[in-house]
Amino acid sequence: MAPSRRLQHQGVPTPLDEPSGAKKRKSGASTNGAIKKQRKAGVVPAAKGTLANGKNAANSAGKKSTKGDFKTQQKPFVKPQKKAQLVEDDDEVVSDLSGDALDDSDVGGADLDGAVGGLDILGDDDFDSDADDFANAPSGSDDDVVDSDREVQHGVWSEDEDSDAEEALTAANIAGLSARLDKERAEEEADAEQELRQDALQTNIAAADLDLDDDEEDAKKQSMLAPDLQMLRTRITEAVRVLSNFKELRDPSRSRADYTQAVLKDICAYYGYSPFLAEKLFSLFPAQEALSFFDSNETPRPMVIRTNTLRTHRRDLAHSLINRGVTLEPVGKWSKVGLQIFESQVPLGATPEYLAGHYILQAASSFLPVMALAPQEHERVLDMAAAPGGKTTHMAALMRNTGCVFANDASKDRAKGLIGNIHRLGVKNTIVCNYSALEFPKVMGGFDRVLLDAPCSGTGVIAKDASVKTNKTPDDFLRLPHLQKQLLLAAIDSVDHASKTGGYIVYSTCSVTVEENEQVVQYALNKRPNVKLVPTGLVFGREGFIKYQSKRFHPSLKETRRYYPHAYNVDGFFVAKFKKTAPTAANAVHAQNASAANVSSIPTTNGGVEAKTKSRAAGNRDEDVDSEVEEDGVFGGWDEDEDSKYIERSLKKQIRRKGIDPKATKSKAVQSLAPKKVTEGESSKQADKPEKSGRKMG
């Protein structure tokens, strides 16, 4: 469904197209075409070998056939007689685009950009929903450059009169897109044929036997290549149909569990998930919707760029890029700064506009946490896990480079990318720091707002990294939530409840699991009665769960928002917004310090750094994990009754990681990190007020 999806605005709920998957896999040839197309789009294929024929079903969602779908869905294109008249009133735009703002020195120079661009543009292995890989941005024909004349360039594009302007822009681009799709289709057919030949060779069918001009032969070969896919899809569709109307359609000899088990087995084979993850994700939705979710994970999301309003206006950026042969349109009415890219003749990470910091490549759903946080001018804001800086730089733009953003990340390597983006985008109100965020608010507190865009399993961005399908274990869904809970408490404790303008915390992940989202939020509500959930202010998104399997969450969890690829055509995401109403109690701070001491950050390929739970009893992590499960109870709890001996040991390890010999500095270093006994008054000072002697900034 790639092309039709790509024409949808992101964020606007779209009707589900359930049987779409069934349409997708009519033949081996279309499957091959789909695989090829996804490779072009830079999608990482899932692990091979999950299917009986040795092919990877995971990334072959039959996009080829959707070319036809796209055409039939579109109204016949009529070339616009008049050039688009665009009108814009950009709230977020900084009106003064002075020479200073565009000063080359702010751009950070080619070296820096070159060094950093990799993180932002060429993607990184880590999980970061912002770091799209546009190096493979498809290049197309020349004939789709639309309206490069001055009338369009000097038009004004109004957000408030959005529909006209958006339609005009869309129409202006659609001709090029249509032509390009035709060309792509022809190319894909050629590719598909080529791949069919290769696949046949791999499956030991003699190349000489292949006569692809012969229809009968062709059909025979195809059925030899992909019979299992067709069978699996049919079985999945049928089981889902029964599960959706179980009373009426069930075979009386089979229970719901029988059907579910069977369909999960087929889902694992068809899409390439581990049984564990397939079940976890399947259980989030009704059966039919789960299928849509799995299907949508096979389709790359549209490329999106965020206009840097510190440097330019969206309309100007759009026109510059259109003139370079980029086909684009506004991402949707919900954002004033996003542009959705359909096609580009130039690598989007190397345009002059990119190098001058006029935009950043950023997934649409990554806008949402910052929009929910809504940082205000002149505030003091903390971004706890900031690299590579998509959200930090968005915050700085909303704050119009006033106030101060502390952009922290535990990974030094990723912090380099963060610094690069800050320079390239002309951000001047930000200080970068490199702590484990668990150390806040000890490092610094008293913030008006804090964003915790937490390290997570990435189950919302499987379309970008199919390895998640197989590389997540049950242990990950204990360790990550453990870290997320501790980070969230640290975020809460770092906020000034008495802030005149703020007092807010936003928690977000690019994961859709309940363990990493509602359970973490519920944990924070349990541990910090001085916060409450408030509306995110986001205009779309599904309500968070207040009930999931045997778990029950506080009714205010309805204020949180879930984002799904199949529902909104954006990466899977979760956003919760808290308001802090009072200082954190002294005993809670003490407990937090003790608990945090038992979580250390270790580098991983997933989000850069993640938690390693320290043994709380006998140095055995499994025991520790088990005990957490017991303590978790309904909401996922945490026991602060820690053994000081182990806390101290953990603190020493922290000191060692900082390159200090704990023996040499024993008393001082350990004392400086160890939780202090404080009175209630002192505690609130410590948690809610900034420390004057902040360490290691910049």
Show which residues are catalytic: 510
Output the CA torsion sign for 412, 416, 422, 428: positive
What the block records as the tokens of 170 is 């869309």
What the block records as the tokens of 105 is 């020195």
Closest CB to ligand SAM among residues 60, 459 = 459
- 79: number of Cβ within 10 Å: 9
**Order of strands, sheet of 327-330, starting from the edge strand that comes earlier in the sequence:** 327-330, 338-343, 303-307, 359-361
Tell me if 386 is assigned to a ligand binding site: yes
What does the DSSP assignment read for 672-695?
A: HHSPPP--HHHHHHHHHS--SS--
Closest CB to ligand SAM among residues 326, 487 = 487
Tell me if 391 is assigned to a ligand binding site: yes
Pairing state between β 380-383 and 359-361: unpaired
In whole angstroms, how close is the CB of 444 to ligand SAM at the nearest point?
A: 14
In whole angstroms, how close is the CB of 344 to ligand SAM at the nearest point?
A: 22
Closest CB to ligand SAM among residues 131, 267 = 131
In whole angstroms, how close is the CB of 537 to ligand SAM at the nearest point?
A: 19
Residues that bind ligand SAM (CB under 6 A): 128, 130, 366, 384-391, 408-411, 414, 436-438, 453, 455, 601, 607-610
d(CA 210, CA 200): 8
Closest CB to ligand SAM among residues 11, 455 = 455
Burial state string for 264-276 with b = 16 or more CB within 10 A and e = fewer than 16: bbbbbbbbbbbee
In whole angstroms, how close is the CB of 622 to ligand SAM at the nearest point?
A: 22
In whole angstroms, how close is the CB of 517 to ligand SAM at the nearest point?
A: 14
In whole angstroms, how close is the CB of 360 to ligand SAM at the nearest point?
A: 9
Helix H segments across 203-296?
215-225, 227-244, 246-249, 256-271, 275-282, 287-296
- 209: number of Cβ within 10 Å: 9
In whole angstroms, how close is the CB of 211 to ligand SAM at the nearest point?
A: 51
Task: Please state the length of the chain.
Answer: 698
Closest CB to ligand SAM among residues 177, 461 = 461
Closest CB to ligand SAM among residues 50, 411 = 411
Name the burial class of residue 88, with classes exposed (0-12), middle (13-18) and buried (19+) by CB atoms within 10 angstroms of its CB: buried
- Closest Cα partner for 341 from 99, 694, 683, 7? 7
What the block records as the tokens of 406 is 């502390």
- Closest Cα partner for 322 from 113, 149, 524? 149
Pairing state between β 303-307 and 359-361: antiparallel
Residue with tokens 């020479």: 99
- DSSP secondary structure code for residue 447 in this structure: B
d(CA 9, CA 251): 41
In whole angstroms, how close is the CB of 120 to ligand SAM at the nearest point?
A: 9
Task: Compute CA distances 293 → 286, 290, 461, whole Å.
Answer: 10, 5, 11
d(CA 660, CA 189): 62
Closest CB to ligand SAM among residues 340, 606 = 606
Tell me if 409 is assigned to a ligand binding site: yes
In whole angstroms, how close is the CB of 390 to ligand SAM at the nearest point?
A: 4
Q: Rounded to 10 degrees, what is the CA torsion of 420, 426, 429, 433?
A: 0
- Closest Cα partner for 326 from 316, 339, 307, 341? 341
Give the residue closest to ligand SAM by C-beta: 608
d(CA 49, CA 613): 34
What the block records as the tokens of 605 is 């390929």
Name the burial class of residue 290, with classes exposed (0-12), middle (13-18) and buried (19+) by CB atoms within 10 angstroms of its CB: buried
Closest CB to ligand SAM among residues 140, 390 = 390
Closest CB to ligand SAM among residues 166, 610 = 610
Binding-site members are: 385-391, 409, 453
Binding residue ranges for S-adenosyl-L-methionine: 385-391, 409, 453
